[in-house]
Amino acid sequence: MALAVSPGENQIFASGVDPLFVSFEMIRIHDDSPDHSGSREFCWRRSWGHKMHSHDVRSIEIVGSLVLTGGVDTKVVVAKQKRKEGDVSKTSTILKSFRQTKICSISPKKRIFLLQAENKIDLWKMTKIMTSSVNSEIETTGSDGDCIPTEPPVHLATINTESIRTAKISPDGSFVAFSTLNYLRLYKLEIENFQVQLTKVN
What's the pLDDT score for residue 138? 46
The secondary structure of residue 182, as a DSSP letter, is: S
Nearest to 160 by CA among 122, 188, 124: 122
> 44 forms bridges with which residues in the sheet?
26
Note the pLDDT tens digit of each residue in 104-139.
999 988 899 999 988 899 999 988 766 554 445 445
pLDDT tens digits for range 165-201:
899 999 999 999 999 888 999 999 998 878 889 999 9
Q: Coil, strand, or helix at residue 8?
A: coil
Question: CATH 2.40.10: which residues of the chain?
Answer: 2-95
CA 150-151-155 angle, 5° bins? 125
Can you give the pLDDT at residue 186? 95
pLDDT tens digits, one per residue of 44-69: 888 777 777 888 888 888 888 788 88
Give residue 30's pLDDT: 65
Residue range 2-95 in CATH 3.40.50? no
At 94 the pLDDT is 64
Q: Mind listing the pLDDT tens digit for each residue in 72-112?
A: 877 788 887 665 555 545 566 766 555 667 889 999 888 99
Contact between residue 163 and residue 101 where contact means Cβ atoms under 8 Å apart: no
